[in-house]
Amino acid sequence: MSGEEFVPLSLTPLLIGIFAAVACALPGNFLLLRKQALIGDAISHVVLPGIVVAFLLTGAITAGPMMLGAAGAAVVAVVLIEAIRRLGRIEPGAAMGVVFTTMFAGGVLLLEQTDTSAVHLDVEHALYGNLESLIWLDAVGWSSLLDAQALAHLPVELPRMALTLLAVTLFIALFWRVLKISTFDEGFARTLGIRTNLLGLALVITAAVAAVAAFDAVGSIIVIAMFICPPAAARMMSNQLEGQVAWSVGFAVLSALLGYILAGYGPLWLGAQDAVSAAGMIATVSGVILAIAARFGPCRNRSGAPVGV
């Protein structure tokens, strides 16, 4: 494909897909090890009422208030999950299940009561995103990357997702040591003076921010898949946290690249007429990678794993 075609049509969706995948996979590593991997699923559901409420309050489909609403709902959910887990003394999975189904159901009711048919608040958009629409029409080729006027019309999702990825990366890098210690041994971490509750909350809020930004850009199906699949596959490739995180980034990038290409060209190669959803394909590819890692990964047989698996 020439630059004239690739840059305006494929470069920005590809980059946005990669940034979103990596931004979700990074915190996903820690969530997985803390047995909180479902939180990605929870967040992607609870943002619905947040978005609807933001729409009701502002009456407009503008990204700013909607993302604020989504982020607000995510934080409310995270706090609710923590509260239910502690006060109810039940396992985190159950607490998440209770909160996200309730909030999602509330969002559906709200949505039903609102006339949103004219706007793209529909389920399809929410689930699969609209990666293919994030094109850069002002670009004419690779030279546009140096053209200030063309750059000014980049899809806003690109810088937003890039900033989110930067923030997530900074958080993980800055708190790497304490995240590692408190994920492995929370009691010990507390005796060192590490404020593990606050750190755990910060991690989940970071994940929520990544999820909301990715949700807006590429849909929730990528969010759910990227929180779990690349880190879980990476765990079977390395017995060290550093290695696991590196592999998970690699798998996230690979899923985004391969998924985007397969969605665009796969059906054509098979003789079908239309391309399929890139977000759906990216999530599928990440699942296939997980399956391959589970079958062939060097670290898939561990003492903790059941015999014969």
Which residues are near another protein by CB under 8 A? 33, 89, 174-175, 177-178, 180-181, 183-185, 187-188, 190-194, 235, 238-241, 243-244, 299, 302-305
Q: How far is the CB of 251 from another protein (least distance, A)?
A: 15
Q: How far is the CB of 137 from another protein (least distance, A)?
A: 43
CB nearer to another protein: pick between 8 and 28: 28
Q: How far is the CB of 89 from another protein (least distance, A)?
A: 8
Per the structure block, which two tokens stand in for 58?
Answer: 């502002």
Q: How many CB atoms lie within 10 A of CB 196?
A: 19
Q: How many CB atoms lie within 10 A of CB 289?
A: 22
Nearest to 164 by CA among 228, 133, 208: 208
Q: How far is the CB of 192 from another protein (least distance, A)?
A: 5
- Specify whether the CB–CB gap between 238 and 247 falls below 8 A: yes
CB nearer to another protein: pick between 143 and 301: 301
CB nearer to another protein: pick between 107 and 230: 230
CB nearer to another protein: pick between 133 and 239: 239
CB nearer to another protein: pick between 9 and 246: 246
DSSP at 95: H
Q: How far is the CB of 240 from another protein (least distance, A)?
A: 6
- Cα–Cα distance list, 101 to 34, 85, 107, 220 (Å): 21, 16, 10, 15
As a whole number of Å, the end-to-end CA separation of the chain is: 44
Q: What is the residue-wise DSSP string for 120-133?
A: T-SHHHHHH--GGG
Rounded distance between C-alpha atoms, residue 10 and residue 17, angstroms: 11
